[in-house]
Each structure stands twice: as structure tokens, then as C-alpha cells.
Structure 1
């Protein structure tokens, strides 16, 4: 299955009860709203597909895993309604990952920024390489990682989350992400990572699907309130992105 978008695409391959979802965008695998909507839709479909046992979420190429929100689209936002709608796209994806009946394995081959860190955090198990550094740069551009914060804090805790957020210009290396629980395993190369991930996914897909689904519920206990919380957070980001500070900062980042 191949869904081609004007800017970027979602590609899905299903084999051995494993659905591999690949997202791609020419700007370091960043996300415009259309791509966020397509990923959400795909996750919701696979959640109820009995032929699928496990989902692998990955990005295209050997460079960045995900640069987060599309700067071009952020700069085009001119009112609060559009701002909330854009950030609700990330809320939709995280909630779809949270409520998906299938366990989701993340494959992080390179750097993850902002929403990319949120995606990795919302995975149930994450394989990464030594090149998969992370950064939350939102506060430096006048907004904040409000929508993704619950997912990130759930994985790494509030103290590490505050460090990652406030040190907005600093990359944290893959070892830091591993030590703080964002990554489950880190490998020296993409080849090594893919070999381990493939074997793990096959093993997981061989287990009782009903047991896996029940385990997913246990792993995400006490997150039902995210169905409203994340959209309240989207409204905060939607308001802040309209500020002159953020517009100027985004333009500087683009340069």
C-alpha cells in the first residue's frame, strides 16, 4: 500500500503479520498536517486488522528519524483555530498509538527533534542507533513541547523531561536516551539495529495476539485522560505559534 502526498508519503508493507509503516518527507522527515492525518488513519486501521500482530514505525533514509513539525506549515498559521488544528495532528497520532491494539516498535536510525521525540516516546519498544541523538527545541522558538510532553514524561520521567526541554539548544546522545528509558536498545549501525529489530518483531508476532492486546492496555494504564489533555495542550501551542517571537525564531531556524 502506498499513499503519496504532495510533500512526503506514508508507505506500508505487511509481511509475516508485521506491518511496517514508513513515513518520509524531504525536510528531514518532518510532518505537515496531511502526513500526520495519514499516519493517524493508518494506525487506526491496523488497530482492528486481525491479520496484523505487530507494527513497526520507521522513517525513510539513513539520516534524521524525524525533525518534528513542518516549519513551513508553522509559519503559515495565522489564527488560533488553525494553530490548534495543526498541533492536534500530533495529538491525534499519539492518541492513535496509545489506543492502538497492536504493540508498536519504533525504529530510530538518526536524530529526532520535537515531535520526532514524541513519536519515539509513544512507541512501546524502541530500537535506535548510536546516531539517534534527541533534542526538544520548542522553547527556543517560543512555544513548548506541550502536546508530546505526556508521552515523553511517561517514558523518561519529569526530571529528564525538564532537562531535555530547558536545554533546548543541546543534543542528548543515544546513550542518554537509552539510560533515561526513551530507547530500549541502541546499536552501532543501522544494519545491526535492523537485524535485531527483525528478529524481535518476528518473535513478538508469534505470540498470542489476544495476550499482546491485553498487555498493550496494561502498558498504557492511566492515560485515558489524554483524549482531552492533548487537545488542551494543542490549544496552548496553537496560541503561542502566533506570537512575533515564534515567527521570527522560525524564520531564523529556516535560514
Structure 2
């Protein structure tokens, strides 16, 4: 039972309220009387205003959203290696000597040092070649060889952040080579294993693992009539054509 009573002096409380099992409070000369036997204490009656949702720009990462230090290093190592592979393939694509099969090394621009800020100038073209459907799965394959499976979003975030930082690097080839060497030397015991795994994910990223399998089939004289694919470009690369 809840009742309200107007009083002139909030300091005067009728004895009957003192003897009853009630809660008494005053607000603007209004005496609020609450039956304690039916209602919870006033502190429990106060409704806490709902917490407003965080703004998009101030969202906080949930616990465990950041990969461990070892996992982050492995993600960066795989990203450096795949970027180096993509750069090498793109440089060969725009090389006049490679495209024409010219015998003179002087006509092969891919053999010379890349111009300063080459990656920044051709960033979109290199990224288009790098971001194949197997880019993130290749990194994840390398990471899962040494640690528990990481969320795809964490791998994408770490890899994209690294690529953005590398965009303004003057000498991209030297930077990637130095970082791959440094990250491999962080663990001398697994350097040989990691080098082999980097080679493996490079073949997986470029589709060479399927190329080798098709090579065995074609060398046997078997020619498939139909191919069911995921629209990947592994059947159009120079390795399969040769």
C-alpha cells in the first residue's frame, strides 16, 4: 500500500507511522508512506537509467579481441611474404623483357631496383593482385600451424593495418625482405619450418598447388572435358599455360 500526505512541518512525523511497519520519506513537503510488508525498500524502487549505447567512434574491443604477440608476428610474417610474392609477379607483368621474351637482361626492368615509392604509386594494382580469395585463408593456414585458430576479422585487421603502413615506404622490396628475415630470426628453432610453410602458403595463394596436380594429369595424356571451379584465376596463370 502506498499513500501520500501533505504536512506543514516535515520534521513532525505522526507516532502512528513510527509504530507501523512502513517506510517514510519526504519530497517537497509530501510525506510518502510505503507499506514495507508489501513493497521492497525505496533503494530497490529506484530505476537506474539505461546505459546509452557506445558511439561508433568510441566502441571498445571485447576481451580477447586482440591476437597474442606471437600470433600477430606470424600474421605479419605471412603478409610480408605474400606481398613480396605479389610485387614480384606484378613487376614481371609490366616488364617488357618478360612479356616479349627478350634475351637481353637490359630489357628486363624486373631485374633492376624498383623506383622510389613504387608501392605507393602502384598500390591499387598490387593490392588487386594480392587480395585474391586465398589471401586471408593463406595467412590463416600459416597462423594455425603455430597457434589456435584466430578469427578471420583479427587476421584481416592486422594484415590491412600493416599494408596501410607500408604504403608510404620508399623502398618496399628492401623493407619486406628485411622484415621477413627479422621475423624468421625471432625463433631460430622454427626458422626452417617457417620458411617451408611460407613457400607452401605462397603456392596456395598463387594456385600453384592445383597447377602441379593438373600438370600430373596432363602429362599422363588425360584431358578433362569439364571443370567445376570457384571462378579463381589459377587456370589462367602462366604456370598452368606453360
Q: Give the TM-score range, shorter chain.
A: under 0.3
TM-score, structure 1 as length reference: 0.23
Query: Highest CA radius of gyration, 1 or 2?
Result: 2
Which structure has the higher relative contact order (CA within 8 Å, separation 6+)? 1
Normalized per residue, the structure richer in helix is: 2
TM-score, structure 2 as length reference: 0.24
Normalized per residue, the structure richer in strand is: 1
